[in-house]
């Protein structure tokens, strides 16, 4: 997922919240998309759109996505039927995918957590998927209220998921890194007795 001036490991060190701040408080997915398994994830988006409760296209996407990619799946925010489970997780691990972000429901979450694979989704439901819908792979999709295009940078942590458009990656990486340094200085000054009101110019 390298972009000019920023390696994959570099993005993994930036908080999703700070990345959103660097984009004018934009680019962060809705709070309904939460981390259900694993730790941080950072990679390039491999996009999927599927019908509510159907995962046949997701199976195809897992087999087409390059190693290190993050699957970003628009499953129509449907919570009545899971579109991801343990079998797909094992398949994704075998393909060396970095993680998945799903605007929809998943299941088998205890087994997936045992694997430690990064999985973000809108909810959990034991009801299994259909396999008859012909979805789309590799087009721009919406996930958690954010438009995601193939190749966009995906960063997820305990706060949620931030998306950086590929064409803005270098600029946003620089801004987010500077923001991290600025906030570290704020914390140092507060620990030395300054008021956050004064530091932030709040009257």
Q: Which residues are within 8 A (CB) of 24 and not within 5 positions of it... i.e. 6 or more apart?
A: none
Q: What is the CATH number of the domain that holds 15?
A: 3.50.30.40
In a domain, 182, yes or no: yes
In a domain, 1, yes or no: no
In a domain, 131, yes or no: yes
Range of the domain at 191: 8-200
Please provide residue 170's backbone torsions phi and psi, each rounded to the nearest 5 degrees.
Answer: -65, -45
Domain count, the chain: 1
In tens digits, the chain (203 residues) has pLDDT values of 444 445 556 899 999 999 999 999 999 999 999 999 999 999 999 999 999 999 999 999 999 999 999 999 999 999 999 999 999 999 999 999 999 999 999 999 999 999 999 999 999 999 999 998 889 999 999 999 999 999 999 999 999 999 999 999 999 999 999 999 999 999 999 999 999 999 999 98
Please choose, from the candidates 61, 48, 52, the residue with its C-alpha nearest in 3D space to the C-alpha of residue 132: 52
In a domain, 84, yes or no: yes
Other beta carbons within 10 angstroms of residue 63's beta carbon come to 11
Strands 70-74 and 160-164: unpaired
In a domain, 67, yes or no: yes
Q: CA 12, 16, 22, 28 torsion: positive or negative?
A: positive
Residue whose pair of structure tokens reads 């998306």 in the numeric block: 163
In a domain, 189, yes or no: yes
Please choose, from the candidates 177, 178, 150, the residue with its C-alpha nearest in 3D space to the C-alpha of residue 7: 177
In a domain, 3, yes or no: no
pTM above the 0.95 mark? no
In a domain, 2, yes or no: no
């Amino acid at each position: 997922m390298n972009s000019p001036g920023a390696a994959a490991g570099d993005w993994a060190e930036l908080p999703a919240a700070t990345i959103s701040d660097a984009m004018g408080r934009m680019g962060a997915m809705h709070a309904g998309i939460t981390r259900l398994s694993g730790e941080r994830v950072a990679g390039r988006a491999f996009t999927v759109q599927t019908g509510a409760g159907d995962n046949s296209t997701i199976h195809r996407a897992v087999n087409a996505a390059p190693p290190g990619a993050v699957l970003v799946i628009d499953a129509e925010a449907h919570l009545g039927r899971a579109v991801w489970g343990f079998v797909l997780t094992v398949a994704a691990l075998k393909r060396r995918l970095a993680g998945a972000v799903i605007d929809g429901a998943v299941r088998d979450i205890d087994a997936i957590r045992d694997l430690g694979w990064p999985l973000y989704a809108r909810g959990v439901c034991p009801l299994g998927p259909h396999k008859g819908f012909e979805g789309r792979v590799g087009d721009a999709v919406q996930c958690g209220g954010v438009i995601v295009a193939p190749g966009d940078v995906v960063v997820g942590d305990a706060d949620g998921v931030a998306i950086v458009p590929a064409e803005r990656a270098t600029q946003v990486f620089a801004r987010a890194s500077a923001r991290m340094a600025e906030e570290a200085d704020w914390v140092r000054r507060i620990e030395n007795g300054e008021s956050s009101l004064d530091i932030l110019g709040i009257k």
